[in-house]
Amino acid sequence: MRGGLYTQFGIFVGERWSGYYGIIYIVTKMTLAMYSLSFAQYFIALVPGAPEKAVALGVATFFIGLAFFGVDLAAKVQNLLVIALIAALVVFAVFGFPYVDLGNYFSNADGMFLSDGIGGFLTAVAYLGFATGGATVILDSSAECKNPTKDIPFVIVVSTCGVALLYGLVATVASGVLPVPEVANQPLTLVANIVLPGPVYIFFIVCGAMFALATTLNSQMLSAPKPLMQICEDGWLPKSFAQFSRYKTH
């Protein structure tokens, strides 16, 4: 399905509303720069004195270049990054789980269970939905899949279930090692610095934190142009914006 979610939106609610969605889509994709900036912040933590903006620009340029040369190369790089990312999260869970006091973890003696009520619970649901919603990004690249009707549903189900399981283990360690007030709204690096030895901690920062941003940036650079191409084809933007490069990319 060319256009991914944009086309899907048009099928269900009509062409005009899909155009409105297209405008919102363009605005939201401007936030992709935040992934590069966040990557640069982690990089500077490991390499003090490195120019933050130059690092962010270099990372963004690298993944734009990958997307320019086609889905095959970007997919190979993505596979390597994801393997390293999963390994880092598993290491965090394995090293950290012995530090979790399960008796205290499942106790409400501190009164922190649902401390913000239903509103806080729904906010947590929204955060988790955002974190696991990346599985639907594959829809934007469905036109380039060899067997989309079979592969895309499989990818969505397996990746969502796998991420939910892994996130559950990571969240247990992240919230069960230190008191909740100390870890609330804090990055995983706070707990990781306690449960991981020095070299493993660096591995976690690079492959866990930095590669999480890198994989998101790579997938977005690959998938983001697909709806834009269809938006151009439908006349919401100049059709010249949808021209192919010699690598059959946009």
In a domain, 170, yes or no: yes
pLDDT at residue 250 is higher than 70:
no
Q: Looking at per-residue confidence, does 197 or 2 come out higher?
A: 197
Distance between CA atoms of residues 136 and 157, nearest Å: 10
Q: What share of the chain is helix, strand, coil (3-state, %, to 5)?
A: 80, 0, 20
Distance between CA atoms of residues 218 and 7, nearest Å: 22
Q: Looking at per-residue confidence, does 250 or 244 come out higher?
A: 244
For residues 72 and 56, the answer to whether their CB atoms sit within 8 Å is no
pLDDT tens profile 100-136: 887 777 777 667 777 778 888 888 888 777 666 666 7
Express as a percent the part of the chain with pLDDT over 90.
15
In a domain, 221, yes or no: yes
Over residues 152-169, the mean pLDDT reads 84
In a domain, 87, yes or no: yes
Rg (CA), the chain: 20
Report the pLDDT value the prediction gives residue 130, as an integer from 0 to 100: 67
Report the pLDDT value the prediction gives residue 189, as an integer from 0 to 100: 82
Split at pLDDT 50, 70, 90, the class of 87 is very high
Split at pLDDT 50, 70, 90, the class of 1 is low
Distance between CA atoms of residues 162 and 48, nearest Å: 35
Average pLDDT along the chain: 82
In a domain, 213, yes or no: yes
pLDDT at residue 247 is higher than 60:
no
Over residues 68-93, the mean pLDDT reads 88
CATH no. for residue 155?
A: 1.20.1740.10
In a domain, 249, yes or no: no
Amino acid at 89: L
Split at pLDDT 50, 70, 90, the class of 142 is low
pLDDT tens profile 31-80: 788 889 889 988 887 888 889 899 999 999 998 888 888 778 888 898 99
For residue 164, the enclosing domain spans: 5-242
18-22, 143-147, 148-152: least confidently modelled range: 143-147
In a domain, 247, yes or no: no
Express as a percent the part of the chain with pLDDT over 70.
90
Q: How many domains, the chain?
A: 1
Amino acid at 44: I
Top mean-pLDDT range of 13-17, 21-25, 95-99, 164-168: 95-99
In a domain, 248, yes or no: no
Whole-prediction pTM: 0.77
